[in-house]
Structure 1
Amino acid sequence: MSFNKHSQIIIISVLLTTLMACSEPPEQAKAAQAQRPLTQIDVAQVVSKPVQSWFTYTTRLEAPQQVALKPRVSGVVNTIDFVEGQQVKQGDLLFSLDPRPFEAQVASLRAQVASAVAEYQQAKSEAARAARLRKRDAISSEEAESRTTAAKKAQAQISALNAQLQAAQLDLEFTKITAPIDGVISRAEITKGNTVNANQSTLTNIVSDQKMYAYFDIDERTWNSHFEQAKASDNLPVVMQLLGSDEFAHQGHVDFIDNQINTSTGTLRVRATFLDNSKLRSGAFARIRLASQEAQQQVLIPERAIGTDLKNRFVLIVDDKNTLQYRPITVGDRYGEFRVITKGLTASDIIAVNGPAKVGPGMPIEPRTTQLNADAIGFTLGAPLNQTLLTAK
């Protein structure tokens, strides 16, 4: 019996030792967990900037006036009186044709007019004499009427010859070919000594340069969503970038909106006008930015900070206890790597910059403060193009 009691004491001692040994690891685990460092997470305050929604279109510039200069009469080119590629003014002499055939025609018609005037004077005198003789019944009424008719025909002949003379004088004037508009002239397509045909041969081209037009097409959905209330008289501002330039350096305004949607393309034709004529050339490729509203202060965050679940887009914000919290958001337009947040965040909120990839709501963290740099992003209409353009919502 003493042996059994001794064995029971040993067994009880072992069990107590085992229980004590098993009870120690959880406490040690808690202590280890308390001493374990928190996860470091990059956090930053959201960006708040004036933001403007705009749309970008491509086009080619057009001069308001373009002239393919053609002669009004046929003849031989006598002189070329301009410097190719230079400015010309309306009325400047550009070409002259050999005038001698036209001068001869004018001289011939002047002689014919003089002869017709003499004939008319004689017929008029005979008609007057016939009228006097008729009063004395010294001539028949038929003869008197015949002389009166002859005088009227002679007068009509003078009118016809004067019209021909006027046309010949115009042809003579047309041998001096002048600039019909102000602008920049191209090269001479036909050189001295060549024969040109009236209204067929192209002598050169002139384009006006006081202003330039840029036509572009806005799709029906965008127009109805953003520009439905716009009128040409509103002079909506636009900016333009030329090919090879990094900036939208040219400012203009919309001065024409077409009166109907093109049913074939579902677009509306719009025209912007630019008055800066120092660097603009007709036919140049250009990008046009058109804003739909005035700039408004908006909250922006990096695209990578946004998470998506089955219901919402969300971000993780940092509370005053350095714990991550779930916050549903509504997103707007994207500008480069940044996205406008239209609902869910305020300008004072601090977010997990890299999103919910390795962390989740309710998780305590060690915040590693960073700063969001949006200086290289253009958020308004006149911003440079050294950044990614706006994309639709």
Structure 2
Amino acid sequence: MQQRFRKPLFVSVLASSILLASCGDAEQNAQDAAQQQQMTVGVVTISTRDVDLTTTLPGRASAFRVAEVRPQVSGILEKRLFEEGSMVTAGQQLYQIDAAMFEADLASAKAETARAQAAVKSTKSRFERSQELLQDKAISQQDFDEAEAAYLQAEAQLKVAQANLARAELNLEYTQVKAPIDGRIGRSQLTEGALLSVGQSQALTTITQLDPIYVDIAQSTSDYLALQQAIADGRIETDSENRAEVTVQVGENRNFSTKGELLFNEVTVDPQTSAITLRARLANPNHAILPGMYVRAEVGTGNLKNAILAPQTGVSRDPRGRAIAFVVNSKGEVEQRYLQVERTVGTDWVVTDGLKAGDQVIVEGLQKIQPGMPVKTEEVK
């Protein structure tokens, strides 16, 4: 009889345990639901605004002007009159070439000019007298013609002498080799005593103008065409001359910054890189940017109207690389959205699809939420 009652007792104990466990699970689920309902997340409410767009592109600096100094007359180099690496101004004398031979040529040209002037004076008097005598029929027509021809020939010789005099003066002036432009002068390639000749291939020195300075920027054809299409569609506005502002920062800490404007873009595409070259002119008062230096230029591309910006902290990527964001919908529940993003502006993404003005994007508490969960919102400034 005792064995008959042991089995029902065991069944009743087991049933009680199951009942208690189910009650515990229900209480836990209720607690979890209560916690979910009470969870607060930080959100940013999306609004539209106009944005000034910029693009960072690689570029290489080139000098505003470069002049190779060469002699314009032949002779022996006597003096160097500048300090290598210094700043020079246009018209400043750099070298002195031996001028003795050119001074002699100038004296000879002056004497020839004086003789021609005397010949003109003599023949002119004879010609004027011949005119009076011809009217009185005191001389023949042939004598008059000879006097006139002599006078005209003397005038022609005077012009030749004056041209030779001007050439001699110019050659003497060329013995003073002067700077053609303002800028920083390089090292001298020849020293005193060197024989110089007109048209020599070796330059005496080189002058480089560094302020302002050019920066040649490379932009891909795809970005260029996309920008032109956005301008044509009216999404991006530019000024009438399309003179975009360009900013360049150099130095390890980017402690030097200079601004300029975009001048033009090339009409051809580099077949090796499929890039279009843009040229910008920038102020370079401290000569911090040197020709050949590689820089990164920030180019203004226009103004984007009614842009939708989403904070980068609220946008992530799924395993397939798609941009996603979690928003709080009208029911107060978490909703996952797939976004189309175009570029970054500061700490925000420019969103072209997936969000609209008034949406609340979750930026805080993302680790504890999942789609469909009811949440409370708190605006993050």
TM-score normalised according to structure 2 size: 0.75
Distance (whole Å) between structure 2 residues aligned to residue 63 and residue 123 of structure 1: 59
Range with greater deviation from structure 2 (264-273 or 213-222): 264-273
Question: 1:246-298, CA deviations, whole angstroms, 9 ceiling, x for partnerless residues?
Answer: 33742313241237453856544422222231123233221101233459783
Q: What number of residue pairs does the alignment pair up?
A: 355
Structure 2 residue 310 is matched with structure 1 residue 299: yes
Distance 1:92 1:141, change over 3 A: same
Distance 1:47 1:191, change over 3 A: farther
Does the CA-based 8 Å contact 1:241-1:249 persist in structure 2? yes
- Counterpart position of 1:56: 56
2:335 is aligned with what amino acid?
A: Y
Range with greater deviation from structure 2 (169-178 or 203-212): 203-212
> Match of 2:336, SS?
strand
Deviation at residue 31 of structure 1 after TM alignment = 0.7
Distance 1:17 1:67, change over 3 A: same
Distance 1:81 1:119, change over 3 A: same
Distance (whole Å) between structure 2 residues aligned to residue 213 and residue 162 of structure 1: 45
Structure 2 residue 234 is matched with structure 1 residue 221: no
Structure 2 residue 244 is matched with structure 1 residue 236: yes
> Match of 1:150, SS?
helix
From 318, 324, 338, the counterpart of 1:314: 324
- Counterpart position of 1:74: 74
Distance (whole Å) between structure 2 residues aligned to residue 141 and residue 190 of structure 1: 65
Distance (whole Å) between structure 1 residues aligned to residue 101 and residue 44 of structure 2: 80
- Counterpart position of 1:385: none
2:324 is aligned with what amino acid?
A: F
From 251, 256, 269, the counterpart of 1:262: 269
Deviation at residue 182 of structure 1 after TM alignment = 1.7
Structure 2 residue 290 is matched with structure 1 residue 281: yes
Does the CA-based 8 Å contact 1:215-1:272 persist in structure 2? yes
Range with greater deviation from structure 2 (198-207 or 103-112): 198-207
Distance (whole Å) between structure 2 residues aligned to residue 252 and residue 28 of structure 1: 73
> Match of 2:143, SS?
helix
Does the CA-based 8 Å contact 1:315-1:351 persist in structure 2? no
Indicate the percent of aligned positions where both proteins have the same amino acid.
22
Distance 1:85 1:78, change over 3 A: same
Which structure features the higher share of strand residues? 2
- Counterpart position of 2:207: 206
Question: 1:195-236, CA deviations, whole angstroms, 9 ceiling, x for partnerless residues?
Answer: 222243411111223311212133333234335453574542
Does the CA-based 8 Å contact 1:127-1:151 persist in structure 2? yes
> Match of 1:287, SS?
strand
- Counterpart position of 1:45: 42
* RMSD across aligned positions (CA): 4.3
Distance (whole Å) between structure 1 residues aligned to residue 256 and residue 240 of structure 2: 22
Distance 1:136 1:300, change over 3 A: closer
Distance (whole Å) between structure 1 residues aligned to residue 124 and residue 247 of structure 2: 74
Distance (whole Å) between structure 2 residues aligned to residue 225 and residue 254 of structure 1: 21
> Match of 1:314, SS?
strand
**Unpaired runs of 5+ in structure 2?**
232-236
Question: 1:296-344, CA deviations, whole angstroms, 9 ceiling, x for partnerless residues?
Answer: 783313488443689x7534568999x9833214242565997627344
Range with greater deviation from structure 2 (57-66 or 35-44): 35-44
- Counterpart position of 1:25: 18
1:253 is aligned with what amino acid?
A: G
Does the CA-based 8 Å contact 1:301-1:339 persist in structure 2? yes
Does the CA-based 8 Å contact 1:70-1:203 persist in structure 2? yes
> Match of 1:148, SS?
helix
Deviation at residue 56 of structure 1 after TM alignment = 1.7
**Unpaired runs of 5+ in structure 1?**
1-5, 373-393
1:223 is aligned with what amino acid?
A: Y
- Counterpart position of 1:114: 114
Distance 1:232 1:101, change over 3 A: farther
Does the CA-based 8 Å contact 1:317-1:352 persist in structure 2? no
Deviation at residue 172 of structure 1 after TM alignment = 0.7
Distance (whole Å) between structure 2 residues aligned to residue 309 and residue 252 of structure 1: 40
TM-score normalised according to structure 1 size: 0.73
- Counterpart position of 2:299: 290
- Counterpart position of 2:234: none
